[in-house]
Chains A and B, each alone.
Chain A
Amino acid sequence: MLFLADFSVIKPEPGLLFWTTLIFIAFWFIMSKFAFKPIMQGLKQRELDIQGALDEAKKAREEMSHLMSQNEALLAQAREERAGILKEAKEAKEQIIAEAKERANAEYKRKVESAIQDIENQKLAAMVDLKNKAGQLSIDIAEKILRKELSDKTAQDSLAKSLAESSSLS
């Protein structure tokens, strides 16, 4: 069992210590400069990019929902306004109709009244006319009767006498 005496890996050797130090330190600096730092930088940059993109998406989503709620509010407002307008229109319509009715009624009344007046006037005129005609007719009839009654002398005398009697009595 002589081999363990030759177990060289456990003996620190100056040559290997020297070369390991040199190579590892060179590895450390060269790799840091040309590999690890650019990679770390790249990774960091990418993480920032991803985070930025996520943040942006979140912001966009928030804005979108904000806009949507705004739209909703606008729509509700519009709907409300429409309802208001409709209500107003209805009221106006009713008012106009009522006014028109009233006016029509008044006109009708006025017309009826004026018609009654007219009729009354016409009636009065007709009455006057009729009275005039009836008067004329009775005069004519009286004239004819008189003419016939007074055609003899006795009748004339009796009349004159009655007239004279009536006048003397008064």
Chain B
Amino acid sequence: MKVSRKYIFALILSAFGAVAFAQQGNEHNHTHGEGDQHDHAHEAPAQAQQPAEAAHAHEAGAEHSGCGHPASDDPKDFNAGETAIHHIADVNAIHIFGDTYLNLPVILYAKGHGWKLSSTAIFHAHHHGNGTVAQDGYVLVHGSVMRVQDPAFPMGEVKVSEPTHDVVKTDKGKEKIIYYVQANGVCYTLDAKTTFDGGLMGGGVTSFYDFSITRNVFTMLLTFLLLFLLLRAAARAYASRPGQAPKGIQNFFEPFITFIRDDVAKPNIGPNYERYMPYLLSAFFFILGLNLIGQIPFFPGSANVTGNISVTMVLALITFLIVSFSGNANYWKHIFAMPGVPKPLLIILTPVEILGAILKPFTLMLRLFANITAGHIVIISFVSLIFIFTNKFGAGTGTAIGAAASIPLTLFMMALELLVAFLQAFIFTMLSATYIGSAIEEHHH
């Protein structure tokens, strides 16, 4: 197999991904440093509440109730980072404009309570996507469903206050945001939904699981439908106009399909490429569609789907499974007992090879996730310049300066992200094909 420039290109991209991550790590450490200032020795998951303790370390705001701080409505408190983080997150209710939300189905499971199937409409969300009522202990915070930790919390509909939050340190030394709501004058700690990061990223198994149709799931379904209609129309044209020159939508999709076939599958997989074409095309169009829809800055776009590690994890895992199940004897032999290598050396080489086989899909997962998330964050940050300058220099000149800086930068970034949308879809497909190719390659020694 030729070691082409494509590999070098992919390598550079991986390096970029790694740099992005390293920066994130730094940021994280940085926050740690700051977090130490308001370390309340909270044990997470905390007990029902420790409002008194939480309160004293903070400069008491006007609305401080001893139960975390409320999200500020004051434009002076605008935080670009926080805004970006909220925008890229997956949510249960989609914000359309103003206080209008698209309510989506919620499918929740809590131990001891069982399944709850409903819609986000039951939370009566108003601004910021915060619900005004708790339903069976579930509340809506920034568009996401959370659950009151206290099992004694009354079931059914309970009026709750605006949620408040606080940053605490877990026993593992990680930072964590704890949200609270008040109901009947009592402060309750909220649990976020269960995540499978093992507490490494501040999540973990909590009191409930969320299997809802979230914004990301909704966007995936929408992309699926859109791509199905478009590609089905193209596919029909081949049947309805056989032996004729391609026309319209056929011409639009054909270059992509022939590109994946002739420049991705054929050179990397070899003569048996046809078996893998449906997967490669599915991965390419699925990622590309989601990337592009995510770029639309308003409903029904803007969802950061391919920038969510759950999504890229599934895609990378499927590539990994295909590679593993397609791998021939040669492939496995090269991993577990590299031929022509002295036995003692295998003690070192075999773990490295096994690690390599696992790292391949891992990098697939991280590369796509990091690139798309970074793109979303940068665009939101550039848009935020308008608000930052407005805060700094006032509504007139500040806004003008902010807009003058923001518009060209955002435009540039949008254009770059358009390229990245195609590039990342291509890279994912390309590397998947490379891994499959290396697993089914016949070695001739």
A-contact 0/1 string along B303-321, CB 8 Å cutoff:
0100111110111001000
With A13-B195, A32-B282, A43-B254 known to touch, is A6 a contact of B214 (CB < 8 Å)? no
The answer to whether B373 touches A9, judged by C-beta atoms less than 8 angstroms apart, is yes
Please name all residues of chain B whose beta carbon is closer than 8 Å to the beta carbon of A14 when the two chains form the complex.
Answer: 194-196, 209-211
Q: Which residues of A contact B286 (CB under 8 A)?
A: 24, 27
A30→B228 contact, CB < 8 A? yes
Residues of B within 8 A of A25 (CB): 318
A43 to B220, CA, bound (A): 28
Given contact pairs A9-B369, A11-B202, A13-B196, a sample of 4 additional A-B residue pairs in the complex whose CB atoms are under 8 Å apart: A11-B201, A13-B310, A14-B209, A34-B231
B89 adjacent to A24 (CB under 8 Å): no
Contacts of B118 in A (CB 8 A): none
Contacts of A11 in B (CB 8 A): 195-197, 201-203, 309
Specify which chain A residues have a CB less than 8 angstroms from the CB of B238 in the assembled complex.
38-39, 41-43, 45-46
User: For A23, what are the chain B residues with a Cβ–Cβ distance below 8 Å?
Assistant: 217, 220-221, 224
- Residues of chain B whose beta carbon lies under 8 Å from any beta carbon of chain A: 27-28, 30-31, 34-35, 79, 81-82, 84-86, 88-90, 107, 165, 167, 174-177, 192-197, 201-203, 209-214, 216-217, 220-221, 224, 227-228, 231-232, 234-239, 242-243, 246, 253-254, 257-258, 261, 274, 277-279, 281-282, 285-286, 304, 307-311, 313-315, 318, 369, 373
Judge if A108 is at the interface, Cβ distance under 8 Å: no
Q: Does B85 contact A7, Cβ atoms closer than 8 Å?
A: yes
B231 and A12 form a contact (CB under 8 A) = no
Q: Which residues of A contact B (CB under 8 A)?
A: 1-21, 23-28, 30-32, 34-43, 45-46, 49
User: For the complex, would chain A's binding face be called helix, strand, loop or mixed by DSSP majority?
Assistant: helix
Contact A35 B211 (CB under 8 A): no
When distances are taken between beta carbons in the complex, the residues of chain A under 8 Å from B34 are 1
Contact A1 B197 (CB under 8 A): no
The one of A8, A31, A37 in contact with B90, judged by C-beta atoms closer than 8 angstroms, is A8
Closest-by-CB residue of A relative to B176 is A5
Q: A9–B281 contact, CB under 8 A? A: no
Q: Is the CB of B196 within 8 A of A1?
A: no
A34 to B363, CA, bound (A): 31
Chain B residues in 8 Å Cβ range of A10: 197, 201, 309, 369
Given A7-B201, A31-B227, are A17 and B175 also a contact pair (CB < 8 Å)?
no
Chain A, Cβ-Cβ closest to B220:
A23
A5 touches B281 (CB 8 A): no
Q: List 22 A-B contacts (CB under 8 A).
A: A3-B85, A5-B202, A8-B85, A8-B89, A11-B203, A12-B310, A13-B193, A14-B196, A15-B107, A15-B211, A19-B211, A20-B220, A31-B228, A31-B278, A34-B231, A35-B235, A38-B236, A39-B231, A39-B253, A40-B257, A42-B238, A45-B242
**Judging by beta carbons under 8 Å apart, are B243 and A49 in contact?**
yes
Q: A9-B88, A28-B282 are in contact. Are A36 and B277 (CB under 8 A)?
A: yes
Q: A14 to B304: give the CA distance in the assembly, Å.
A: 17
Across the two chains, which residue of chain B brings its CB closest to A18?
Answer: B211
CB distance from B278 to the nearest CB of A (A): 4
How many whole Å from B209's CB to the nearest CB in chain A?
A: 6
- Quick check: A2 and B177 within 8 Å, CB to CB? yes
Q: Is the CB of A31 within 8 A of B231?
A: yes
Given A19-B211, A36-B277, A42-B239, are A1 and B311 also a contact pair (CB < 8 Å)? no
Give the complex CA separation of A39 and B249 in angstroms. 12
B228 near A35 (CB under 8 angstroms)?
yes
Query: Cβ of B28 and Cβ of A4 under 8 Å apart?
Result: yes
CB-CB nearest 5 A-B residue pairs: A42-B238, A32-B278, A11-B195, A16-B310, A35-B231
Contact partners of B212 in chain A: CB under 8 A: 15
Tell me, rounded to whole Å, the shortest Cβ–Cβ distance linking B210 to chain A.
Answer: 5
A11 to B309 alpha-carbon distance, docked (Å): 7
Give the nearest-CB partner of A38 in chain B: B235
